[in-house]
Amino acid sequence: MAAVTPVVNLDLTGRTALVTGAGSGIGRACARRLAAAGAAVLALDRDKAAAEAVAAETGGQAVALDLADPDAPHQVAAEVDVLVNNAGFQHVSAVEQFPPERFAGLHQVMVHAPFLLIRRVLPHMYARGWGRIVNISSVHGLRASPYKSGYVSAKHALEGLSKTVALEAAPHGVTCNCVNPAYVRTALVENQIADQAATHGIAPDEVVERIMLARAAVKRLVEPEEVAELVAYLCTPPASFITGSAITMDGGWTAH
Ligand code: NAD
């Protein structure tokens, strides 16, 4: 397993954690972190090889499914104690050119699939009287940016879903929260740099400094392991009072 330096003291022995989009970036870091805490990890990704690689290094199980398929969540094990809804992607385009099927696809993967997965695993969590749902939202769940109508609207919807589930699940010992990072150093961001450069008509190396870091007071990208550590904290006993929250890790972006 790749080096993990756990900061938060967390023991998930005997718990099963399902992480979507576990093959790369934040999802992979969460899978590693939760496995390091003792959880049996279900690494779900549409990229079968990536899911298998993460499953192999964490001693978990690969779940090769594409969450763009509305039937996929029904094929996942329902006996899950920690659910990390992380799978997502980006599309950068002006609203008037935004392909409607791309807009629907963003909502399918980033809102409908989390809803279906939450719906599937809650009965098991309720039966055990304990559960943790962490939705990897974004600063774009709280703030908009131009050219990201599909992503921003999907993440805002995820925030509403998360808060509603938090209210319903609280009496059962289940918390549900969003984590809201600014730009994280992952493939999703690397791919976006070229798209943003073309859309804004600037050089790729200017994108990070002039666009991605413009609103953050801390002028660096977030590391996936930092997000995973926050996810781990939300699974600890002292975090049982944190629910229905949107926890920013945005270098001060939303302080504006
Ligand atoms: P990434 O591209 O590195 O990883 C995303 C993973 O999700 C990939 O392994 C991909 O195969 C998988 N995936 C995508 N669509 C899928 C589908 N339909 N079914 C199953 N798996 C699918 O991206 P990342 O940066 O780690 O992003 C993960 C999450 O974090 C996303 O929800 C993203 O919106 C959110 N986020 C990212 C950033 C950032 O700056 N990178 C910032 C805030 C929030």
Give yes or no for residue 186 CB within 6 A of ligand 1. yes
Cα of 89 from ligand 1 centre, angstroms: 5
Active site residues: 151
Q: Tens of pLDDT along 138-190?
A: 999 999 999 999 999 999 999 999 999 999 999 999 999 999 999 999 988 88
Cα of 21 from ligand 1 centre, angstroms: 6
Name the range with the highest mean pLDDT among 6-10, 202-206, 229-233. Answer: 229-233
Give yes or no for residue 56 CB within 6 A of ligand 1. no
Q: Tens of pLDDT along 210-256?
A: 888 999 999 999 999 999 999 999 999 999 999 999 999 999 999 99
CA torsion 110-105-146-183 (nearest 10°) is: 40
In the sheet that holds 40-45, the strands lie side by side as 61-64, 40-45, 16-20, 82-85, 131-136, 174-181, 246-249
How many Cα neighbours within 13 Å face the side chain of 72? 19
Cα of 228 from ligand 1 centre, angstroms: 13
Tokens of residue 127, six digits: 């039966």
Rounded Cα distance between 10 and 20, Å, is 21
Tokens of residue 246, six digits: 């949107």
CATH topology of domain 16-185+223-248: Rossmann fold (3.40.50)
Q: Which atom of ligand 1 is nearest to the CA of 108?
A: 18
pTM, two decimals, is 0.96
pLDDT for 120: 98
pLDDT for 1: 63
Per-domain residue ranges of the chain: 16-185+223-248
Query: Which residues does 210 contact at the CB level (< 8 Å), separation at least 6?
Result: 202
Rounded Cα distance between 187 and 71, Å, is 26
Least-confidence region, from 5-14, 33-42, 192-201: 192-201
pLDDT band at 2 (very low <50, low <70, confident <90, very high): low
Rounded Cα distance between 52 and 74, Å, is 20
Please report which residue ranges of the chain form alpha helices under DSSP H. 25-36, 48-58, 100-107, 113-128, 149-169, 187-200, 204-206, 224-234
Give yes or no for residue 141 CB within 6 A of ligand 1. no
pLDDT for 194: 84
Q: What is the mean pLDDT of residues 190-203?
A: 86
Q: Tens of pLDDT along 109-129?
A: 999 999 999 999 999 999 999
pLDDT band at 6 (very low <50, low <70, confident <90, very high): confident
Cα of 52 from ligand 1 centre, angstroms: 17
pLDDT for 106: 98
| Average predicted confidence (pLDDT) for the chain | 96
Of 19, 20, 24, 192, which is best to mutate to test ligand 1, by the most ligand atoms within 8 angstroms of its C-beta?
24
Rounded Cα distance between 205 and 175, Å, is 40
- What is residue 140's DSSP assignment? G
Residue whose CA is closest, atom 6 of ligand 1? Answer: 21
Of 52, 69, 75, 188, which is best to mutate to test ligand 1, by the most ligand atoms within 8 angstroms of its C-beta?
188
Of 32, 89, 195, which is best to mutate to test ligand 1, by the most ligand atoms within 8 angstroms of its C-beta?
89
Give yes or no for residue 188 CB within 6 A of ligand 1. yes
Q: Tens of pLDDT along 78-94?
A: 999 999 999 999 999 99
Rounded Cα distance between 156 and 47, Å, is 26
pLDDT for 208: 87
Cα of 110 from ligand 1 centre, angstroms: 9
Give yes or no for residue 26 CB within 6 A of ligand 1. yes
Is the distance from CB of 79 to CB of 124 less than 8 angstroms?
yes
